A and B are shown apart, each in its own frame.
Chain A
């Protein structure tokens, strides 16, 4: 995959554990919610272990076909493990964490009920 340079990506060292690409459509409510959610999740569970790329497909419409996007927002987890696609504004934190393969272990915040943004 071509490395997109996005100012929002955190300045992490090479080969972070989690590579996440979030595709959004401008500043629609769903998109802004998704951005906020993924940022919170990353900060909370993956601090220092992730690379997040946020792409506005309004700006790069050719990516929509290349990435086979249908529903927006879409979060694509490229690594670790299998590529997974998460469609939606990422408000359902348990599902997001499960899909990302993050087990909310005890050292982090409450394992059972994470507080999603509404």
Chain B
């Protein structure tokens, strides 16, 4: 500790911390456990106290190069080593590399006879020797309370334990002391009185037959810390405290768009698809082809060269493949190509947190560009609404931060109670919300699809009817009837009626065309008549005029002849007088 105090004295008084390396715990404690001080971890049986202690040591040794000492009061060294082998911790190897020392303290009441005054100096010497022999920086005392079973003299024990913790502080080792949870107090023996720097409480609760482990930092002197109860899990890689949602909304966004997998649905969006990295919710009542919509999307992602994880909470992979093949969505090909991963599990298989961890792990391993969860509403069988909501918040957050497009389906029961689930629960978290529902008319049921919202993108306001055909989902064109949009049989009726009307109109037009033609022909005939008549009149008139002309000609020539025969008297206008 003293080595760190100069640094702490200068800059802001930051408490020096020892990172645990345990997933999530360092985030909650904002850096780790208080360096050089003891931390109390208490919890009931089966919480993973010992495991947390061992992981603290193993990670310290492997990741932070801090050797550690484990003093176990309950389990022997071989037992401990065997117990944590399944988590990939090789204690024997660490011991050989002088990164770890195990010391099993055997306490047996029947073997101990108190014969006078004593102290626990033996323990101190053992621990001191172990620490010095490998230069340990970390110490775990696993259930020191076992001493209370072996030594009846409580007064001595308490003062010695107090002295031990003080001594550990002086040694400057970061220590974890585990203790069993007591009734009404944090620990059975009230150890929290002695360890006052940091207390972490582990809890193991069974609600509705499903176990969830939770962790809470009860106190952390000199540091801020997350105050909530955080679920944690014991996974194949050790303890994983979850999760750690980023509390800020500062993830990067993409303006690229991915197709929905259904061309006609693309058309309903202004940019022809969903934004990459956004979250999409498809809600609908039972049997409204939510899964098919989801599968179309997954199919499209894979065909565009992306990778997709499909979490199926209702169907087995084989069933899903078969059903989707029936609507010409060939997921098998993508599965074979390694682009698609179908993870099917019953929601009740494990707690919400386990699902979340599975998802985290798969996302990390598979690196998908899109994730489909079908349906999220099934998770409600596992937890209550609040828990599901907080899990989904974390999930959506996690996916968004990683830029993964997410599509969730959710079952709603009409105007039932669960409508709230989507209204309050997730809808505010998702960017795009598509609603599919039954449009129940007279004697039939049709499926309608509409976009309730799509953040940052223009979208159609229409309710489109769609059909699930053997070629996939087909959106039908909007048919407007006298009372609005019509669907199903009334759509057909409407279409037939329209067709009949069109035909009638066409026939009417043709009839009118013929009438015009007829008129034209009549008129033309009339015109021809008139022209003929005119021609004959003209002919007659021309005849008369020609006759007149010839008559005048004849007259004129006659007069000339007369004049030639009778020369005129000089100066007498004979011609006129002759007329």
Contact = CB atoms under 8 A, between A and B. Distances in A.
Interface of A: 23, 25, 28, 30, 33-34, 37, 57-58, 61-62, 64-65, 68-75, 84-92, 95-96, 99
Q: Which 6 A-B pairs have the closest CB atoms?
A: A69-B122, A88-B116, A91-B116, A89-B116, A61-B129, A88-B115
Contact of B115 (A57, A61, A87): A87
Nearest to B151: A71
B117 A72 contact: no
Contacts of A62: 129
Contacts of A23: 122
A90 B122 contact: no
B196 to A, nearest CB: 24
13 contacts: A30-B117, A64-B125, A64-B129, A68-B105, A69-B122, A69-B126, A70-B122, A70-B123, A85-B113, A86-B113, A89-B118, A90-B115, A95-B115
Contact of B106 (A30, A64, A68, A96): A68
Nearest to A77: B113
Given A70-B147, A71-B120, A99 B129 contact: no
A contact patch SS:
mixed
B contact patch SS:
mixed
B532 to A, nearest CB: 141
Given A70-B120, A71-B118, 17 more contacts: A28-B121, A57-B121, A62-B129, A64-B126, A65-B130, A69-B122, A70-B105, A75-B115, A87-B114, A87-B118, A88-B115, A88-B117, A89-B117, A90-B115, A91-B116, A95-B114, A99-B113
B51 interface: no
A85 to B, nearest CB: 5
B250 interface: no
B116 A65 contact: no
B112 A87 contact: yes
Among B107, B119, B130, B150, chain A packs the most CB atoms within 10 A around the CB of B119
B111 A85 contact: yes
Contacts of B126: 61, 64-65, 69
A88 B123 CA distance: 14
B167 to A, nearest CB: 14
Contacts of B266: none
A71 B119 contact: yes
B425 interface: no
Contacts of B115: 75, 86-92, 95-96, 99
B190 interface: no
B121 A25 contact: yes
Contacts of A58: 125
Contacts, number: 99
Nearest to B105: A70
Contact of B113 (A25, A37, A72, A95): A95
A89 B117 CA distance: 5
Contacts of A89: 115-118
Interface string B112-151: 1111111111110110111000000000000000010011
Contact of A70 (B107, B113, B129, B130): B107
B131 to A, nearest CB: 11
A71 B125 contact: no
A68 B76 CA distance: 12
A83 B421 CA distance: 68
A86 B112 CA distance: 6
A28 B118 CA distance: 10
A30 B118 contact: yes
Contacts of B128: 61
B103 interface: yes
Given A70-B107, A87-B112, A57 B118 contact: no
Contact of B119 (A30, A37, A68): A30
A57 B125 contact: yes
Contacts of A33: 116-117
B125 A73 contact: no
Given A61-B128, A64-B129, A65-B130, A72 B122 contact: yes
Interface in B86-116: 103, 105-107, 111-116
Nearest to A75: B115
